[in-house]
Amino acid sequence: MSRTTGTAGGTMGADRPEIEIRGLHKSFGDNHVLRGIDLDVARGEVVCVIGPSGSGKSTLLRCVNLLEEPSRGRVLVGGTELTDPDVDIDAARRRIGMVFQQFNLFPHVSVTGNLTLPQRRVLGRGKAEALAVARENLERVGLAGKADAYPAQLSGGQQQRVAIARALSMGPEVMLFDEPTSALDPELVGEVLSVMRVLAGEGMTMMVVTHEMSFAREVADRVVFMDGGVVVEQGPAEQVVTRPARERTRDFLNRVLDPAAVRAPGVQQDDDGRGREDGRPDAPAGG
């Protein structure tokens, strides 16, 4: 994919990855969710992480900005090790924007307020500067006309675009998206993905956990398939999505891309495609 390379600031060399994950493990009690993840994301690269539910995708993303503390391993963003016990984690997190499945907007505050309050409280920006940044980012996501609206007056897609604008208003060098369209009605998915396409085109470094295979194929530079807490396969988006090398990846994509073809447990297909329980005779005609 041809696209402008990101020029976000930082102290790392030009060839050093923007995100570096080394030997990452995460357990919740006896549940070993991540089992030694090694992954790099280059500056300006878009990496989509796909896989079945419970594979560790969202946990991986949350470990990148230490919303979940890794059990073992290292995470570096922009050359700063977030897993260093002495790191200023608040300063490090300011370089990372995150958009969740749910919008997490303040319901009692206008759209503009949702964008300016974090800037003023976290970054210490003055009212005028925060307002100017908010207006710029609302324009970027196509919601300049909704500045005075409240979240309850917006569609789900509009609320998610506000959430993206809020993250962008903090000036991040990296954006993390945790299934940002999963809570939306199908007809609203496209408007959020279109904003993400623009960010990718601008050279924003992005990690995206998604089930939107068309988005992954068209926008991602690289697709990472996870299962069982490990990276099973990764490579160029077109290759992984359309010509995966691993059988487990092929099985997953077949289920995602053609769910009607997947048989329910204990059900076999008749010649005409209708399902019946295994070993159960067809009902007699007229019965």
Q: What is the pLDDT of residues 83-110, one digit of tens each?
A: 999 999 999 988 999 999 888 999 999 9
Residue carrying structure tokens 């995708």: 57
Question: What local confidence, expressed as pLDDT, does residue 257 receive?
Answer: 85
Mean pLDDT rounded to a whole number for the chain: 88
Query: What tokens appear for 131 in the block?
Result: 């307002």
Question: What local confidence, expressed as pLDDT, does residue 10 receive?
Answer: 39
> For residues 262 and 255, is the Cβ–Cβ distance under 8 A?
yes
Scanning 1-100, the segments in alpha helix (DSSP H) are 57-64, 89-93
Q: What is the DSSP string of 115-173?
A: HHHHIIIII---HHHHHHHHHHHHHHTT-GGGTT--GGGS-HHHHHHHHHHHHHTT--S
Identify the band that residue 260 occupies on the pLDDT scale cut at 50, 70 and 90: confident
15 vs 93, higher pLDDT: 93
Over residues 176-208, the pLDDT tens digits come to: 999 999 989 988 999 999 999 999 999 999 999
Residue 271: which residues within 8 A CB-CB, separation 6 or more?
none
> For residues 201 and 169, is the Cβ–Cβ distance under 8 A?
no
Residue 120's identity, in one-letter code, is: R
Identify the band that residue 284 occupies on the pLDDT scale cut at 50, 70 and 90: very low
Identify the band that residue 259 occupies on the pLDDT scale cut at 50, 70 and 90: confident
